[in-house]
Amino acid sequence: MARPSTACAGRGFTLLEVLVVLMVMGLLVGLASALVLPDDRARLAVESERLARLLELAAEEARLGGHAIAWTAEPPGYRFSQHDPARGWTEPGGRDQLRPRALPAGMALLGLRVENTPASAPLRLEFGSDGAAQAFTLELGLGTARTTIAGSPLGEIAVVADAGGRDARAPPP
């Protein structure tokens, strides 16, 4: 009987070699996904900055347009309304930036204080057409991460340091 040649017998991989390659590939995929997917703090910082800019836009639109604009928290997100003396509070027409928005999964609006007084549900901020601004703080949370958006009586709106004292927009240590 003819024996198989050694050239044909040595062409495959051993089970151990295949397992080592799969383990290395799994480690690389895990490392790459950890680097690519943002953590809770980064996602919260992005959404907080977006909301702060939208609140600034609403305040500016109210001053320039001559109609009060309100921001209202409506789980799972928030919306803007414009006051029309004839029709009451309606959706701001023609302004895609002020459309209703949903918060990312797991994110929540934790509280609103206007003029240092806790707001009752539903959370609501109004920007008057007269340009008068109220001081407010709006707290958002995602997992254990927290951030605050603050509005000053001068009309300035910014994302401020989180409860740990760090700037909420800074990358985690």
Q: Tokens in use for 28?
A: 């690389």
Which residue, among 50, 49, 55, has the nearest Cα to 170 in the 3D structure? 49
Whether the per-residue pLDDT at 169 is higher than 70: the answer is: no
Tens-digit pLDDT profile for residues 23-65: 888 888 877 776 666 678 888 999 999 999 999 999 998 888 8
Which residue, among 160, 118, 152, 117, has the nearest Cα to 135 in the 3D structure? 152
Q: Provide DSSP, 37-92.
A: S--HHHHHHHHHHHHHHHHHHHHHHHHHHSS-EEEEEETTEEEEEEEETTTEEE--
Would you call 112 exposed, middle or buried from its count of C-beta atoms within 10 A (0-12, 13-18, 19+)?
buried
Q: 163: which strand partners?
A: none
Helix (H, G, I), strand (E, B) or coil at 8: helix
**Model pTM?**
0.72
Tens-digit pLDDT profile for residues 65-94: 888 999 999 888 999 999 888 888 888 877
Domains of the chain by range and CATH? 40-160 (3.55.40.10)
